[in-house]
Amino acid sequence: MLHILGSYWEDQSKRLFRLLTSKPKNPGLPLLVYSIGEDLPSSWHVQCQSSLKVASLQAEGYVSEVHLSTFSGNLRQADMVARITSDLKWLASKCPVVPSLESAPITEYLDVGLTNFFSLQIRENEKERRRAKIREK
């Protein structure tokens, strides 16, 4: 049983790592983990965090904050619905702001690119002429 559980945690840890590394590190995302089961030991949260390697994900900047929640019994009960709602509000409050994108017309993009390209060549040409002590044209 322990081997199966260890294999499960290893698979889930790899899955979480692949999911989080498929996005840019910055900004880190909040992580909400639900454990559903009867009579989970008091050390369950610690085991869950260590098995998912949450500390290393936080150290690397993939995860900003972690919230673990355990459920047992009927998930449709009013107190469970209130807890899930509270957890989702926490998650929504911790989500990073979406970066704004800049846009420019294609003509401006080409103008800037061509100007930089030719001005670089002209500056390099001027440097070579000065080194060779050739007069300006």
User: Both 87 and 129 in a single domain?
Assistant: no
The pLDDT score that the predictor gives to residue 49 is: 86
Instruction: Please say whether the beta carbons of 61 and 128 come within 8 A.
Output: no
Q: Residue 119 — very low, low, confident or very high, per pLDDT cuts 50/70/90?
A: confident
Which whole-number Å values give the CA distances from 80 to 43, 44, 84, 85, in the listed order? 21, 19, 6, 8
- Structure pTM? 0.60
User: Both 80 and 106 in a single domain?
Assistant: no
* Domain that includes residue 110, residue range: 102-137
The pLDDT score that the predictor gives to residue 137 is: 61
Classify 20 as helix, strand or coil: helix
The pLDDT score that the predictor gives to residue 5 is: 64
User: Both 81 and 41 in a single domain?
Assistant: yes
- Give residue for tokens 């983990």: 33
> Number of structural domains, the chain?
2
Residue 30 has pLDDT above 90, yes or no: yes
User: Both 116 and 83 in a single domain?
Assistant: no
